[in-house]
Amino acid sequence: MKSRILGIKFFVIITISVLSIRLFSIQIMDTDYQEIANRNVIQQGIEYPYRGLVFDRNGKLLLYNDPVFDLMITPKNVDLSDSLLIKKLLFITQREFDQAYLKARSFSRYLPSIFYKQLSNEKFAALQDRMRDLEGFNINSRTTRGYAEIGLANILGYVGEVTQNQLNRDTTGYYKSGDNIGITGIEKTYEKSIRGLRGVKYRNVDVQGINMGSFENGAYDTLPQPGQNLVLTIDGALQKYAERLMEGKIGSLVAIDPSSGEILALVSAPSYDPSLLSGRGFSQNFVTIQRDSLKPLFNRPLQAMYPPGSMFKTIQALIALEQDQVQADEIITVNGKLIGDHAPPGKYDLERAITKSSNNYFFKVFRRVIQQGEHLSPFIDSRMGYKKWRDYVLQFGFGKILDIDLPNEKAGFVPSLKFYDKIYGKERWKFSNIYSLSIGQGELLVTPLQMANLGVILANRGYYFTPHLVRKVGTESLDFSQKSFIEIDTGHFESILEGMQALVSVPGSRAYIPDLVFCGKTSTVENPQGLDHSGFMGFAPRNNPKIAIAVYVENAGWGARAALSTASLAIEKYLNGSVKKKWLENYVLKGDFQDAKPE
Amino acid sequence: MRSQNRYQLDTLSVVYFLSLVMLGWINIYAADYNLDGNTPFFDLNQSSTRQLIWIGASFFLIAVIFILDYRFYDSFGYVIWGVSVFFLLAVLFFGKEVAGSTSWFEIGFIKIQPSEFAKIATAIGLAKYLSSQNVGVSYKYKLGISAFLFSIPMGLIIMQGDLGTAMVFGSLILVLFREGLSAKLLFFSFYAVLLFLLTLLIDQWILLFMVLALFLIGLGLFIKNRKALIFIFWLSILSCGLIKSVDFVLNQVLKEHQQLRVMSLINPNADPLGIGWNVMQSKIAIGSGGFMGKGFLKGTQTKFDFVPAQTTDFIFCTVGEEQGWLGATLIMILFGAFFLRLLTIAERQKSRFVRIYGYSVVSIMFFHFAINIAMTIGLFPVIGIPLPFFSYGGSSLLTFTMLLFILLKLDSQRMEQLEH
pLDDT in tens, B94-104: 877 766 666 77
Q: What is the pLDDT of residue B323?
A: 94
A206 touches chain B (CB under 8 A): yes
Query: Closest partner residue to A27 among B174, B289, B340, by Cβ?
Result: B289
Record: contact A37-B174, CB cut-off 8 A: no
Chain A nearest CA to B22, separation (Å):
21
Picking from A22, A28, A37, the nearest residue to B284 by CB comes out as: A37
Rounded mean pLDDT, B269-284: 70
Shortest distance between the Cα of A201 and any Cα of chain B, in A, equals: 18
Q: Is the pTM of this model over 0.80?
A: no
Residue of A13, A20, A23 best to disrupt the B interface, most CBs of B under 10 A: A23
Identify the closest residue of chain B to A1 by CA–CA distance: B178
Cβ pair A28:B290 closer than 8 A = yes
| Residue among B283, B290, B373 minimizing CB distance to A19 | B373
A24 interaction partners in chain B (CB closer than 8 Å): 325
Nearest CA in chain A to B181: A4
Residue B132 lies in a domain: yes
Nearest CA in chain B to A213: B36
Predicted pLDDT of residue A347: 94
Q: Does A380 touch chain B (CB under 8 A)?
A: no
pLDDT at B305 over 80: no
For the segment B148-162, the average pLDDT, to the nearest whole number, is 87
| CA R_g for chain A | 34
Integer Cα distance of A30 and A37 in angstroms: 12
- Asked whether residue B217 is domain-assigned, the answer is no
> Is there a domain that residue A150 lies in?
yes
Whether the CB of A207 is below 8 Å from some CB of chain B: the reply is yes
Q: Give the pLDDT confidence of B207-225 residue by residue, as tens digits.
A: 888 888 888 888 888 888 8
Confirm whether B22 is domain-assigned: yes
CB contact under 8 A, B335 and A16: yes
Q: pLDDT band at residue B265, thresholds of 50, 70 and 90?
A: low
Mean of the pLDDT values across residues B285-309?
Answer: 85
A76 in contact with B, Cβ within 8 Å: no
Inter-chain residue contact B287 with A33, CB threshold 8 Å: yes
Chain centre distance of CA A30: 58
User: A104 vs A137, A205, A281, A431, CA distance in Å?
Assistant: 12, 20, 20, 75
Does A205 contact B at CB distance below 8 Å? yes
Answer for the pair A307, A347: CB distance below 8 angstroms, yes or no: no
In this prediction, residue A308 carries a pLDDT of 93
pLDDT at residue number A111: 77
Count of helices and strands (H, E) across chain A: 22, 21
Nearest-by-Cβ selection for B304 from A5, A23, A41: A41
- For B265-280, what is the mean pLDDT? 62
Looking at A84-98, A133-147, B12-26, B403-417, which range is the least confident one? Answer: A133-147
Closest Cβ opposite residue A23 in set B301, B320, B347 = B320
Question: Measured between alpha carbons, how far is A277 from A223 in angstroms, rounded to an integer?
Answer: 28
Chain A residue numbers touching B175 (CB-CB < 8 A): none
Task: Tell me if A188 is assigned to some domain.
Answer: yes
- Judge contact between A280 and A233, C-beta under 8 A: no
Q: CA-CA distance, A62 to A55, in Å (whole number)?
A: 5
How many domains, chain B? Answer: 1
Q: What is the pLDDT of residue B4?
A: 47
CATH number, residue A154: 3.90.1310.10
A20 with B332: CB under 8 angstroms?
Answer: yes
Rounded to an integer, the average pLDDT of B383-400 is 91
Within a domain: B139: yes
A37 in B contact zone (CB under 8 Å) = yes
> For residue A373, how many other CB atoms are within 10 A of its CB?
9
Hey, is the C-beta of A28 within 8 angstroms of any chain B C-beta?
yes
Which of A5, A8, A34 best probes binding to B when mutated, by most B CB atoms within 10 angstroms?
A: A8
Q: Which of residues 285-304 of A touch B (CB under 8 A)?
A: none
In a domain, A202, yes or no: yes
Residues of A with Cβ-Cβ distance to B303 under 8 angstroms: 206, 212
Q: Which of B329, B348, B356, B363 to mutate to test the interface with A (most CBs of A within 10 A)?
A: B329
Which residue of A3, A11, A28, A33 is the best one to mutate when testing the B interface, meaning the one whose CB has the most B CBs within 10 A?
A33
Subunit contact A19:B340, Cβ cutoff 8 A: no
User: Does residue A226 have a cis peptide bond before it, meaning omega lies within 30 degrees of 0?
Assistant: no
In A, minimum Cα distance to B281 occurs at A37
Among chain B residues, the shortest Cα distance to A42 is held by B300
Residue B209 counted as domain residue? no
> How far is residue A196 CA from its own chain's centroid?
20
**Which positions in chain B have a beta carbon within 8 angstroms of at least one beta carbon in chain A?**
35-36, 174, 177-178, 281, 283-291, 300-301, 303-306, 320, 324-325, 328-329, 332-333, 335-336, 339-340, 343, 347, 366, 370, 373-374, 377, 379
Interface predicted TM-score (ipTM) of this complex, two decimals: 0.87
**Is B244 part of any domain?**
no
Task: Report yes or no on B247 lying in a domain.
Answer: no
The verdict on A34 touching B (C-beta cutoff 8 Å) is yes
Q: Which residues of B touch A40 (CB under 8 A)?
A: 281, 284, 300-301, 304, 306
**What's the domain range around A165?**
46-232
The reply to whether residue B288 touches residue A23, judged by beta carbons under 8 angstroms, is no
CB contact under 8 A, A5 and B289: no
Q: What is the least distance, in Å, from the CA of B121 to any CA of chain A?
A: 23
Question: What was the pLDDT predicted at A209?
Answer: 67
What is the average pLDDT score of chain B? 84
Count chain A–chain B contacts defined by CB atoms under 8 A. 106
**Are B336 and A12 in contact (CB < 8 Å)?**
yes
Q: Which of B36, B281, B288 sits opposite A213 (nearest CB)?
A: B36
CA-based nearest distance A38→chain B, Å: 9
pLDDT value, residue B100: 62
Inter-chain residue contact A36 with B288, CB threshold 8 Å:
yes
Distance, in Å, from the CA atom of B62 to the CA atom of B362, rounded to the nearest integer, reads 18
The Cα–Cα gap between B213 and B199 comes to 16
Contact list, A21 vs chain B (CB under 8 Å): none
CA distances from B266 to B200, B201, B223, B247, B259 (A): 7, 6, 38, 14, 11
Nearest-Cα distance to chain A for B199, in Å, is 21
Query: What integer pLDDT is reported at residue B153 of this predicted model?
Result: 93
User: Per the CB < 8 Å rule, is B284 touching A205?
Assistant: no
- pLDDT given at position A531: 86
Residue B124 has a pLDDT of 94
Question: What pLDDT is attached to residue A462?
Answer: 94
- A15 and B177 within 8 Å at the Cβ level: the answer is no
- Could you tell me if residue B216 is inside a domain? no
| Minimum CA–CA partner of B324 in chain A | A27
Note the pLDDT of residue B317. Answer: 94
- Residue A175 is predicted with a pLDDT of 84
| Cβ distance of B343 and A204 shorter than 8 Å | no
More confident residue, B280 or B128: B128
- Enumerate residue ranges in chain A where pLDDT < 70: 1, 208-209, 216, 279-280, 594-599
At residue B1, the pLDDT reads 38
- How many Å apart are CA B19 and CA B14, to the nearest integer? 8
Instruction: List the strands of the sheet with A533-540, edge to edge.
Output: A262-269, A251-257, A547-553, A533-540, A519-525
Could B304 and A206 be called an inter-chain contact, meaning their C-beta atoms sit closer than 8 Å?
Answer: yes
Can you give the residue range of the structural domain that contains B125? Answer: 2-201+255-412
- What string of H, E and C letters represents the secondary structure of chain B? CHHHHHCCCCHHHHHHHHHHHHHHHHHHHHHHCCCCCCCCCCCCCCHHHHHHHHHHHHHHHHHHHHHCCCHHHHHCHHHHHHHHHHHHHHHHHHCEEECCEEEEEEECCEEECHHHHHHHHHHHHHHHHHHCCCCCCCHHHHHHHHHHHHHHHHHHHHHHCCHHHHHHHHCCHHHHHHCCCCHHHHHHHHHHHHHHHHHHHCCHHHHHHHHHHHHHHHHHHCCCCHHHHHHHHHHHHHHHHHHHHHHHHHHHHCCHHHHHHHHHHHCHHHCCCCCHHHHHHHHHHHHCCCCCCCCCCCCHHHHCCCCCCCCCCCHHHHHHHHHHHHHHHHHHHHHHHHHHHHHHHHHCCCCHHHHHHHHHHHHHHHHHHHHHHHHHCCCCCCCCCCCCCCCCCHHHHHHHHHHHHHHHHHHHCCCCCCCC
Number of domains comprising chain A: 1
> Distance between CA atoms of B419 and B233, rounded to whole angstroms?
45
Residue A332 maps to a domain: no
